[in-house]
Amino acid sequence: MAYWLFKSEPDTWSWDQQVAKGAEGEEWNGVRNYQARNNMRAMQLGERGFFYHSNQGKEIVGIVEVSALCHPDSTTEDPRWECVDIRAVRPVPNPVSLDMCKADPRLADMVLVNNSRLSVQPVSEAEWKVICEIGGVEG
DNA sequence: GCCAACGTTGGC
DNA sequence: GCCAACGTTGGC
């Protein structure tokens, strides 16, 4: 089981909107970056990820899971772009901010800390556990 | 709102 | 296939 992190500007697509989609989930469309797409291609059904608010908040606010495997992105005709569907699992009671990640030496190698521009990122199992612990949430 | 970092594009 | 120019992202 791999772990992931999905980044979104809350103005565009927020955690609340994700939660409102319920168990059916929603396409994580709009990704136009090969690295991010390749990460989505590698995802398995039921794998978990963090939901991160960029720009406003700059914090991990929820946990999601993959509800559909990689498929063509419905927002473009360009066959290069694909995406998975994700659904909200549970909120993070104590949102974990970017500052907190930077401050914790155990998270020094996190992609979020080192390459904040990548919109779909892998998270190591160790990092996953640390953030769940800080966030007060069950992974 | 600025700007640094990064990825992509396109001319050669 | 290289690299300069450009566009976008996202932290500050």
Confidence (pTM): 0.95
Q: What's the CA A55/C1' B1 distance, rounded, in angstroms?
A: 13
Q: What is the pLDDT of residue A51?
A: 97
Strand C contact at CB of residue A7, distance < 7 A: yes
Domain residue limits, chain A: 3-135
Scanning A42-110, the segments in alpha helix (DSSP H) are 98-103
Strand B contact at CB of residue A11, distance < 7 A: no
Q: What is the pLDDT of residue A77?
A: 84
Strand C contact at CB of residue A11, distance < 7 A: no
Q: What is the pLDDT of residue A110?
A: 95
Read off the pLDDT band of A78 (50, 70, 90): confident
Q: What average pLDDT does this structure show over A40-45?
A: 96
Dihedral sign (CA A16, A7, A84, A72) = positive
pLDDT by residue (tens digit) across A115-133?
989 999 999 999 999 999 9
A3-135 has CATH 3.30.70.100 classification: no
Q: What is the pLDDT of residue A31?
A: 93
Q: Answer whether residue A5 shows pLDDT above 90.
A: yes
pLDDT by residue (tens digit) across A17-41?
999 999 999 999 999 999 999 999 9
Q: What's the CA A34/C1' C2 distance, rounded, in angstroms?
A: 21
Q: What's the CA A32/C1' B12 distance, rounded, in angstroms?
A: 27
Q: What's the CA A97/C1' B7 distance, rounded, in angstroms?
A: 26
Q: Which of A64, A63, A60, A65 has the alpha carbon at shortest distance from A47?
A: A65
- Residue A120 is inside which H or E element, if any? strand A120-123
Closest nt to residue A55, judged CA to C1': C10
